[in-house]
Amino acid sequence: MKLDDRLTENLRNFFRAVVLEKTNDVIYKDICERLRVAGMYYDMNISNADRYRNHRTGELVFDANEVDKKIILYDSGKKSGVEKVFNFYYDGYEYVHAFIEFEEGVAERDIDMEFCEFMADVVYIVASRHNMQKMLEHAELSDALTGIPNIQCVQGKYYRMLQNAAPQEFVLLRMNLKNFKYVNEVGGAQAGDEAIIQYAHKLVNMVDEDECAGRLGGDNFVIYIHKDNLKKFLRKVSSVKLSKLKSAPRNRFDIGAWVGVSELGENEDKTFLERLNEANIACGLGKGRLNQDVVYYGEELERMIMQGRSVIAAFPAAVKNHEFMPFFQAKVDMRTGELVGFEALCRWFHDGRYVFPDQFIPVLDNEGLITELDMAIFNETCIAIKRWKEMGLNPPRISTNFSKKNLFIPNIEDKILRVIEDNGVSADDVEIEITESMKDIEYERLIRFVSNLKERGLYISIDDFGTGYSSLSLLHNIEADVIKIDKSFTDVLTTDPKSVILVESIVTIAKKMNMSIIAEGVETKEQGKILVDLGCNLAQGYYYSKPIDYHSTTELLRNCDFEPVV
């Protein structure tokens, strides 16, 4: 059977009108009016069809008032109250239905059911198409885990926003969550996912309508916001409370963030990706070398990056030429004034002057070059010990610093022992300083590292004690010989009673565990007295001596006359 041309043409127009939602189309209007249709809706609910299930019978029921998203295809404004729902499609995941409302005065018997069903089919096809499109858009532009925008989406919105605004009015941020691994460690990966989802939604709620926040993956986010809103935003993200995590019921987490900021100068323009790259670099430096929550990309940062690059470039030759050398800082028993040890601290003699560790240690640590430096200083220290012994000077034990990165160098313990052997000194002439760790994996490795070296007769001290996360549990699990109380506690001993209480408890516990305690950064007699009162007798600090070079140390060994503080 062949449809007549006019009907074919009309149907085609009808179809097109529905697809394009062109409800003003003459044919479309005409058909609707002839059938006395007031409006046609379709619903595009994607995933919560269960809401429409009758809980007793399990049957799917439909309530027109509960349609989540209805698009009105035609609305004459005159509704009869007669409503027909057609072709309810449900495949367990999505459902789509069409329904038709009739004009005033239409009764059930007046309805041309056959044609209305046909219209409903057309509406269904259009709805499915929309549905699919929405799903694709959603999948393409949102992050799979959290459902918030992904980078493509943020980028798209950024450029759309720029059609009505100047890029200079906005800052672009790259965020990395602080200590997020801790959440995973405490609650497992599931809690981690749950926390990220909760965090992501909180983040999205922090930005205004013409701003946007998205997830880059992992615990990384990208945001653009009004320059004027930056301060407020930074305050909010400095601590975000996560709670009621199902996978970690008793846990609440306060999550901070490292933030890198890209801002533009007056006439500057950069692409979204260029800005993201800047924010990325700033964020990375904040988290690494700078240890600073918020870092702005700018000239100073570029200088730092250049400086870092020149350190890295100069490093191999500097090691070869023995430009890195230890300075030695005395450790003193404050009750007697006796010299009880030294700490070897690295100096770089470069271009005719001494460069201090803060100028190169963080860079080398970040670049994975620190082991070479630590080994070089350790080696130089052993050489110095050997020489002093040969001079008959009887040097006390000397500690050297080992970055935590060393824990992941294969057989690092053997390498350390070989240096001691090769230099003809003994294991108890030296001491290894290592800082406490936060990450589980490091923590376990640290415990093994310490016990491996102790088995071979070395002394170990825990540096900067009290600044990490695991301080107290560390005391119970690790067999270190010495606890070095961080300078930040010493600094406030005379002003902050809390610091006194903390030092006192550390002393009590350390003594019970048979460890000795030394306070770092002692600068005044007053601090020394308080420490002795608290049971901490050993000190290292400017009050007694700054780090001094090999020759001055030789002099000090020849005649040492430190005074007791009491």
Q: Under the rule (CB under 6 A), what is the footprint of ligand C2E?
A: 329, 345-346, 356-357, 361, 370, 373-374, 377, 401, 403, 463-464, 520-523, 540-542, 547
Site for Ca ion in 209-268 (CB under 5 A): none
Nearer to ligand C2E, 260 or 547 (CB): 547
Partner from ligand C2E, Ca ion, none binding residue 294, C-beta < 5-8 Å depending on class: none
Task: Please state the closest distance from residue 401 (CB atom) to ligand C2E, in A.
Answer: 4
> Residues with Cβ < 8 Å from 414, sequence gap 6 or more?
none
Residue placing its CB nearer to ligand C2E in the complex, 173 or 361: 361
Q: Which partner from the list ligand C2E, Ca ion, none does 547 bind, CB cut-off 5 to 8 Å by kind? A: ligand C2E
List the interface residues with Ca ion, window 504-523 (CB under 5 A): 520
Residues 404, 410, 416, 417, Cα dihedral to 10°: 140
Token pair of 236 as six digits:
């909010």
Bridge partners (DSSP) of residue 400 are 344, 432
For residues 77-92, one letter each, b for 16 or more C-beta atoms within 10 angstroms of the residue's C-beta and e for the rest, the string is eeeeebebebebeeee
Nearer to Ca ion, 280 or 537 (CB): 537
For residue 103, the partner it binds in Ca ion, ligand C2E, none, with Cβ less than 5 to 8 A by kind, is none
Binding partner of 225, given Ca ion, ligand C2E, none, CB within 5-8 angstroms per partner class: none
Q: Which residue has the tokens 């615990």?
A: 219
Tell me how far apart the alpha carbons of residues 280 and 298 are, in angstroms, rounded to a whole number: 12
Q: Using CB under 5 A, which of the segments 43-51, 95-103, 316-324, 401-409 binds Ca ion?
A: 401-409
Distance CA 271, CA 155 (A): 10
- Tokens 């022992």 -> residue: 417
Give the residue from 150, 251, 246, 257 showing the smallest Cα distance to 190. Answer: 246
Cα–Cα distances in angstroms (integers) from residue 388 to residues 385, 392, 551, 566, in the given order = 5, 6, 11, 31
Q: Is 103 in the site for Ca ion (CB under 5 A)?
A: no
CB of 487 to ligand C2E, least distance (A): 6
Q: Using CB under 5 A, which of 429, 433, 436, 442 touches Ca ion?
A: 433
Applying CB under 5 A, among 275, 407, 463, 539 the residue interacting with Ca ion is: 463
Distance CA 18, CA 28 (A): 8
Binding pattern to Ca ion, positions 331-370, x when CB under 5 A?
A: ----------------------------------------
Given a contact cutoff of 8 angstroms between Cβ atoms, the answer to whether 489 and 523 are in contact is: no
Distances in Å between the Cα of 183 and the Cα atoms of 53, 188, 253 are 37, 7, 7
Which residue's entry shows tokens 């240096």? 419
The 47-86 site mask, x for binding Ca ion (CB under 5 A), equals ----------------------------------------
What residue 131 binds from ligand C2E, Ca ion, none (CB within 5 to 8 A, per partner kind)?
none
Mapped onto helix, strand or coil, the DSSP state of residue 464 is strand
461 binds, among Ca ion, ligand C2E, none (CB under 5 to 8 A by kind): none
Nearer to ligand C2E, 101 or 380 (CB): 380
Pairing of strands 459-465, 482-485: parallel
Residues that bind Ca ion (CB under 5 A): 401, 433, 463-464, 520
